[in-house]
Amino acid sequence: MESIVFALLFIFAVALPVYSYSKRQRFRLPPGPKGLPIIGNAFDIPVGHEWVTYAKWSCEYGSDIIYLNIAGQPIYVLNSVQAINDLLEKRSSNYSDRMVMAMCHEIVGWGKNFAFMPYGDFWREHRRMFHQHFHSDVVSKHHIHILKQAKDLLGRILADPDNLTQHLRFMAGASILRVSYGIDIQPENDHYVGIAEAAVHSLALTGNVGSYLVDNFPILKYLPSWAPGAQFKRDGMKWREQVNRMFDEPFELVKRLMAEGKPSDSVTASLLAGLDERKDKPRQELETAVKYATGTSYVGGADTTVSAVATFVLAMLKFPNVQSTAQAELDRVIDSGRLPTFEERDSLPYVTAVMKETLRWHQVTPLAVPRTVTADDEYKGYYIPAGSLVIGNAWAVLHDETRYPNPGSFDPTRFLTSDGQLNKSAPDPVEACFGYGRRLCPGRHFAMDTIWLNIAFILTTLDIAKPSDEMGQPIEPSGEFTSGTLSHPVPFKASYKPRSKAAEVLIREPMFYD
């Protein structure tokens, strides 16, 4: 970095209290990379697939807790289900706050997402609004929109098999935009899907701790955007505009329609209609809470579904025996010429196990969003000071060989009993995939329903296989996944064929419930 950046770093480093680097002498801390004077482990933070490195360190140091220190900021990475449950679940009152990251939250503007908000009344207000429309008892009212988009996805895949990710984004975006804002999106190049995808891309790039130097040295955020070494500021300004548009534009559309006497059937309209009943806060403040709560729904719902269903398709390519077993179950339960329904889920335990294994095999968010410790604590004899960051490594938990033998294999039977029913005593991956304690994702029921139905529809109607190259040899998928806060399979090719003539007719016919 240019001289200005180095000068600022030097000033900041000199200002740091030296006592933070003698803590290892005064307090017992977990093992971890040794680090350097002043800057600590700033250059030890892994770049790309951090979750794998953290799990590797956990094995190398013989500890399920790894300690890092970045310029005085303590970071504790939890790599076991016991440590995560003991701290993030049982002591959730002390481990539910959030760190405000300079790049992601302040510069880019993702602080609007209530999943990233500090713990307190403001966060509770947003979560309460979200929860009342997405908890398990009411999510079924959204099933009609999930069904429509899952059915449309089949035709899109069959017509254009080389753009799976694009089709999945349309399916997920259409579902959540219809539920949240009452918006029926355009078949191609939809405006609202476009601005949301651009915004979410910035979250994937900036959401993990240490993704940008400014997160470790917040003083850098005061650099002018034109300064040498301030490309992060220029990128952040562009991304901030996209984030603002994602939250603002669909919300303002609903408000305008309501003002014109055309209220939409949507979560936003329902929440806005109920605001007059509340007199304890200014309406503008409550409207902002509605905007942030419903805007968060796109991030939480869309990308989870896209990554999970793409991961499922990848698994069917690599483990074709799983596909044939799931299809055999569907053929036994579902009458020919129709699609499965949510009501038949209990009769399809293997399909449900496929969904669970999809979530376990590779997580959308391999690292949980960092927590901030509210008060000094001690665990296993280790000192955890207030203000420390604590990160749950979901990938390490879901690839723990003691809980999931042969974790690299895609094996739905790990969630089944010997007679083929769901094993309620098997460790459920949902616990690690959707967060912990008071920060457990409130949209998980909607996400899991969407993932399950898409998996069931695809397995019922399509055979997924590896395509062939010009020499007739199968094209092997890389099986790689992207890095970042949100992780997706690297694009791959697949062949999709209707399982029968009846299946093809089913895919192409108009919506079965129209």
Q: In which element (H, E) is residue 265 found?
A: none
Distance of CA 91 to the CA centre of its chain: 23
Number of helices and strands in the chain (H, E): 18, 8
Q: Is the dihedral of CA 63, 66, 72, 73 positive or negative?
A: negative
Q: Enter the tokens of residue 11.
A: 């000033």
Rounded Cα–Cα distance for residues 98 and 117 (Å): 6
**CB half-sphere exposure, 316, CA atoms < 13 A:** 28
Is 59 labelled as part of a ligand binding site?
A: no
Burial class from Cβ neighbours inside 10 Å (0-12, 13-18, 19+) for residue 441 reads buried
Cα distances (angstroms) measured from residue 399 to each of 40, 304, 417: 29, 19, 20
Rounded Cα–Cα distance for residues 75 and 65 (Å): 10
Q: Which residues pair with 73 in a beta bridge?
A: 70
Rounded Cα–Cα distance for residues 26 and 420 (Å): 55
* Contacting residues for 29 by C-beta, under 8 A, at least 6 apart: 23, 67, 382, 383
For the stretch 149-174, what's the b/e string if a residue is b when 16 or more beta carbons lie within 10 angstroms of its beta carbon? Answer: bbbbbbebbbeebeebbebbbbbbbb
Rounded Cα–Cα distance for residues 174 and 39 (Å): 45
Alpha-helical regions (H) of 20-163: 23-26, 50-61, 81-84, 121-134, 143-159
Rounded Cα–Cα distance for residues 329 and 334 (Å): 9
Contact 99, 389 (CB under 8 A): yes
Please give the full DSSP string across 53-71, using - where no structure is assigned.
HHHHHHHHHT-SEEEEEET
Contact 88, 390 (CB under 8 A): yes
**DSSP secondary structure code for residue 303 in this structure:** H
Which residues fall in the annotated binding site? 441
Which residues fall in the annotated binding site for heme? 441
